[in-house]
A and B are shown apart, each in its own frame.
Chain A
Amino acid sequence: DGGITQSPKYLFRKEGQNVTLSCEQNLNHDAMYWYRQDPGQGLRLIYYSQIVNDFQKGDIAEGYSVSREKKESFPLTVTSAQKNPTAFYLCASSINREYSGANVLTFGAGSRLTVL
């Protein structure tokens, strides 16, 4: 079945450590996204990538980094510079061309990061 796989599902880290969240998709989608969700809040866009080897900052990119070396993969690194990293992280993908279906995102199950 086609879909998005995020790992790990739960992650604990100590302050000052970088962590990398994995996101893999087999939907042949060009565009991929990382969102962050805090308790009781909506989703906020961290980074997005429309094509391989290109990515753009979203609304809250500070303290995060990404790479897009392969179409299928879009890992997110939460660096020690992120002041409040404890959150639920969601990866998504979509097609990337001008039509209404481009805003139909497929999401992964999420990764919950807790900083101790």
Chain B
Amino acid sequence: DAKTTQPPSMDCAEGRAANLPCNHSTISGNEYVYWYRQIHSQGPQYIIHGLKNNETNEMASLIITEDRKSSTLILPHATLRDTAVYYCIVRSANAGGTSYGKLTFGQGTILTVHP
């Protein structure tokens, strides 16, 4: 799996957009980008994933650069409840029959939304 690099922490004002970057310069053609978040003392929560096209759902938008070497998770109107650790994970959907879903969670980005 490709390695990802995220800033250790970011701040955002409530009501503003939060843009969380992720670098995955060694991503291969069949690897997807997944985003999860973990609110303090809770289990991680899936947010969104994509391959090469931009994706949007009710929680967030995912923008992947054309060369796929980096991506940005966008929370359009951050609230205090969005304060969490955000994990960017790169993983193939074709694990060769061995296993799916074995994800590597690094340190992530601590997003703090302040009033």
Q: A interface vs B, CB < 8 Å?
A: 4, 31, 33, 35, 41-45, 48, 50, 56, 58, 88, 90, 92, 94-110, 112
Contacts and interface: CB of A to CB of B under 8 A. Distances in A.
A94 B94 contact: no
Most buried by B among A31, A41, A98: A98
Interface of B: 32, 34, 36, 41-46, 49, 51, 87, 89, 91, 93-95, 97, 99-108
B110 to A, nearest CB: 10
Given A100-B32, A100-B51, A41 B107 contact: yes
Nearest to B93: A100
B103 to A, nearest CB: 6
Closest 10 CB pairs of A and B: A107-B43, A102-B100, A43-B105, A42-B105, A94-B101, A100-B93, A103-B91, A42-B106, A100-B32, A104-B46
B32 A105 contact: no
Nearest to A43: B105
Nearest to B90: A103
Nearest to B43: A107
A24 B73 CA distance: 31
B99 A56 contact: yes
A108 B42 CA distance: 8
B49 A104 contact: yes
Given A41-B107, A97-B100, A109-B42, 10 more contacts: A31-B100, A42-B106, A44-B105, A45-B103, A92-B44, A105-B36, A105-B44, A105-B101, A105-B103, A107-B44
A112 B43 CA distance: 11
Contacts of B43: 4, 90, 92, 107-110
Contacts of A94: 100-101
B47 to A, nearest CB: 10
Contacts of A102: 93, 95, 100-101
A103 B104 CA distance: 11
A98 B51 contact: no
Given A94-B101, A108-B43, A103 B34 contact: yes
